[in-house]
Structure 1
């Protein structure tokens, strides 16, 4: 592994058993995370959610929408527009079936957690999603798969609304681990993000620099991937700039090194 330097430190209380590696680390579960952006007169904003404290993973943390891949996300029957699974497989350096599942998981999780649906019809991208409220609940409960939902409603998954951004792996010391591929997307015109999910105690839009300021002041808690991604998003003057950025996605796993009452984050390229 090559170490990637990043000057980032946290209070040691956020690190748990940093530096204590289990003899047999848990295999990371594939996951998708979506950095949802919108433009405002004051610059781009990101959609963030503060997870409820009862969650088994990242409890109380402020995060982007996302979650684990469902095995049904790999269903090849999904009607698809935009870069195909083979292209996503090259971007994320993974098998094509997994790439398909990751894109589908990104669309599904974004809809489940924010109400934003990156899909469309023959006439264009959806501008409202209220009519799919019951389907959204069924997706959350896993009573309905994304493929079945899209087919039933005659919808097309819009992979062209997503761009690859990063690949973060949970440190080996953690009991729950994810191999999370990060996507970036902009809020489709006419749609709103409501954050109506039981996984979050609050949701909303913030400028990246304001979200970082909240974390630095102790008003919120960020995991290293979220902190670094917000730092990257703060560099853009418009959402389109982020989507137009050419990214070489490398698999990165943070390591936490205790330094007194703080923990330094070391980023390692796998």
Structure 2
């Protein structure tokens, strides 16, 4: 989410679908997460710590239409996104839209880190929608991907000054010291992973994903904001 709301919340801003991926690897204690430090000149999330990701585009839809992604996997992921806008056009199109999210996540990770993930490595994790009143709004689908020992992402995006692995505890300590800035979804998605404590627990956890529609002003403060409205789109 952007951190500068526009003055007139009545202005209609289109909501674009996007994907973001928490790349994780096992560590001596718990796990590490791969992060990017966005450059200060970006028009979105300038200077923020983020995960690899970006907007869904036409080539993602084209990949799904080509049949390159396993239909059973897309159907399974569609069920994980059952409360989201993936289902806005009904069950028949849900697998297709789930495929777009998966394709976008995989493409963005490859473009920004040089790492091509196996589709099965991408686990649906969370869905956040930018509040009304911001100049850019995204319906963002977060995935978790646990990497193998032979998989090593690298820094290769011009949108970030540096990319690096870090223990989540060290990341939040830097946030407390105000050395970095993190948006609310970045914080919360990682905190939820930390609560499970281990890679094994993350892999086996059956998570129900309820889209988060935050209210009130956005934050980049050291304290994660928990006063969000959690509600499924379909009762």
Where does residue 163 of structure 2 map in the other structure?
203
Give 5+ residue unaligned stretches, structure 2.
87-93
Question: Which of 1 and 2 has greater Rg?
Answer: 1
Structure 1 residues 34 and 83, CA gap change in structure 2 (3 angstroms)? farther
Per-residue deviation, 1:25: 3.3
Distance 1:64 1:255 in 2: 23
Structure 1 or 2: more strand by fraction: 1
Give 5+ residue unaligned stretches, structure 1.
1-13, 119-157
Structure 1 residues 219 and 82, CA gap change in structure 2 (3 angstroms)? farther
Where does residue 245 of structure 1 map in the other structure?
205
Distance 2:157 2:20 in 1: 15
TM-score (norm 2): 0.83
Per-residue deviation, 1:108: 0.4
Per-residue deviation, 1:88: 1.7
Match of 2:153 among 187, 193, 202: 193
* TM alignment of 1:47-62, pairs within 5 A: 47-62=34-49
Distance 1:47 1:262 in 2: 19
Distance 1:209 1:176 in 2: 30
Show CA shifts across 1:16-38 (max 9, x none).
348x5511331210011111100
Structure 1 residues 257 and 74, CA gap change in structure 2 (3 angstroms)? closer
Report how many residues are paired.
215
Show CA shifts across 1:192-243 (max 9, x none).
1112110111110111111111111101000001111221222344323212
Where does residue 61 of structure 2 map in the other structure?
74
Match of 1:43 among 5, 30, 37: 30
TM-score (norm 1): 0.73
Structure 1 residues 84 and 43, CA gap change in structure 2 (3 angstroms)? closer
Q: Which secondary structure state, in structure 2, belongs to the residue aligned with residue 255 of structure 1?
A: coil
